[in-house]
Amino acid sequence: MPFNTALTRRLGIKVPVVQGGMQWVGYAELASAVSNAGGLGILTALTQPTPEDLRKEIRRCRTMTKNPFGVNLTLLPALVPPDYGAYARVIIEEGINIVETAGNSPGPVIKQLKAANCIILHKCTTIRHAQSAVKLGVDFLSIDGFECAGHVGESDITNFILLSRARQSLSIPFIASGGFADGQGLAAALSLGAEGINMGTRFMCTVEAPIHQKIKEAIVQAQETDTELVLRRWRNTTRLFANKVVKDAVKIEKESTTGKFEEVAPYVSGKRGRQVFLNGDKDFGVWTAGQVIGLIHDIPTCDELISRIEREAIEALQKSTSLIVEEGQVPASASGTVGKNTNNPGAEVWGVGKSKL
């Protein structure tokens, strides 16, 4: 049963689920699988060393899906920043009309993309930044709660508050990002006013995600407590999988008397993080994961995952409606349900979950 939200209508997708940009993960294999399954797959521009490589990746993805897919362009502070304008030019020249933007000072790139009529999903972690992006003319906000993987921002507001603030104060549609893995989450996001969800960590743990099987298994093993925040001291707070390298980095960050970033830089190097996805050693370097890691119990195909999310969301929404009855029709006694968690069918599927106790 197709969904009908502002997101599905505008992007021409069946299920309101977006696969967020992911450095070293967002290649054509994953993006095309998500789009083929009825969601929106997204290529990550900066996984490609040059704009011309991005052009090839876009063309490769086109051979793998006939459905719409997008490109993520993340603008991060760097001593020598990539040529963002050139990446945006390739996106436009290749006829991509859905772009996920994220990061600092996105104004010039958004202007360039909007001039070419691209639909922009802009990701941000505060309502203030969301409102600035609205003024830049973006089409959707992707509201990333504190639970999310990667750059969580500095305000530490989780999605229960952030999404309702978005509903109360934004003049354009938004999607919910951070902490989503299942259809119950999608139903909750829709109830809070979002038009769909964006997922990162959950999509890393699918058959088509082009990362080492051992990392997917590490995600299945992990719990919601297995992430760590680093780089707060430099106001660039990032949520990563809590391995030994991250714990060492946090120790230096907390104890350094100089406060020099150079001391922690070798620990948080993206180069070693990239190797993790290739060699399967979860402790080789730092890598990104969100608290939702605790809700991930299997490694499905994208098609299985998105079909399941669709089914669960429909069931959850129908169930919510059935909780409302006409006045006078409330059953006299609910004794048959005492002691049973009637609102938790998932418990039967996943058993006691991941408890290591």
Ligand X SMILES: Cc1cc2nc3c(=O)[nH]c(=O)nc-3n(C[C@H](O)[C@H](O)[C@H](O)COP(=O)(O)O)c2cc1C
Asked if 21 is part of the footprint of ligand X (rule: CB under 6 A), the reply reads yes
| Residue at shortest CB range from ligand X | 200
Tokens in use for 10? Answer: 């505008």
**70/95 Cα distance (integer angstroms):** 10
- Assigned token pair, 117: 């009529």
Name which of 23 and 184 has its Cβ closer to ligand X: 23
Cα distances (Å, whole numbers) of residue 41 to 82, 197, 291, 356: 23, 12, 22, 34
Under the criterion CB under 6 A, does residue 199 sit at the interface with ligand X?
yes
Smallest separation, CB 232 to ligand X (Å): 18
Which 200-219 residues touch ligand X, going by CB under 6 A? 200-202, 204
Site string for ligand X, 286-315 (x = CB under 6 A): --xxx-x-----------------------
Rounded to a whole number of angstroms, the minimum distance from the CB of residue 258 to ligand X is 29
237 binds ligand X (CB under 6 A): no
196 contributes a contact to ligand X by CB under 6 A: no
Q: Does 285 bind ligand X (CB under 6 A)?
A: no
Cα–Cα nearest to 60, from 206, 52, 84, 120: 52
CA distances from 244 to 197, 226, 249 (A): 31, 11, 9
Residue 268 beta carbon to ligand X: minimum distance, rounded to whole angstroms: 14
Only one of the segments 108-116, 173-181, 230-238, 254-262 lies at the binding site for ligand X (rule: CB under 6 A); that segment is 173-181
User: DSSP assignment of 212-248, as one string?
Assistant: -HHHHHHHHH--TT-EEEE-GGGT--EEEE--HHHHH
Instruction: Report the C-alpha gap between 357 and 223 in whole angstroms.
Output: 12
User: Smaller CB distance to ligand X: residue 229 or 319?
Assistant: 229
341: three-class secondary structure by DSSP: coil
Q: Which stretch in 55-63, 283-291, 298-306, 310-318 sits in contact with ligand X by CB under 6 A? A: 283-291
Binding residues for ligand X, total number by CB under 6 A: 29
Give the C-alpha separation, 107 to 88, whole Å: 13
* Smallest gap from residue 317 Cβ to ligand X (A): 21
Q: Interface residues for ligand X in 68-127 (CB under 6 A)?
A: 72, 74, 102, 123
From residue 272, alpha-carbon distances to 24, 52, 150, 176, 268 in Å are 11, 25, 16, 30, 8
For residue 138, give both structure tokens. Answer: 């973006």
Instruction: Rule CB under 6 A: say whether 177 interacts with ligand X.
Output: yes
**Is residue 130 a contact point for ligand X (CB under 6 A)?**
no
CA–CA gap between residue 13 and residue 8 (Å, rounded): 5
| Residue closer to ligand X (CB basis): 36 or 288 | 288
Task: Name residue 112's amino acid.
Answer: Q
Candidate segments 82-90, 108-116, 174-182, 257-265, binder of ligand X by CB under 6 A: 174-182
User: Nearer to ligand X by C-beta: 34 or 102?
Assistant: 102
Q: Which among 302, 322, 328 has a CA at the least distance from the CA of 15?
A: 302
Interface residues toward ligand X, by CB under 6 A: 20-23, 25, 44, 72, 74, 102, 123, 144, 147-150, 177-180, 198-202, 204, 288-290, 292
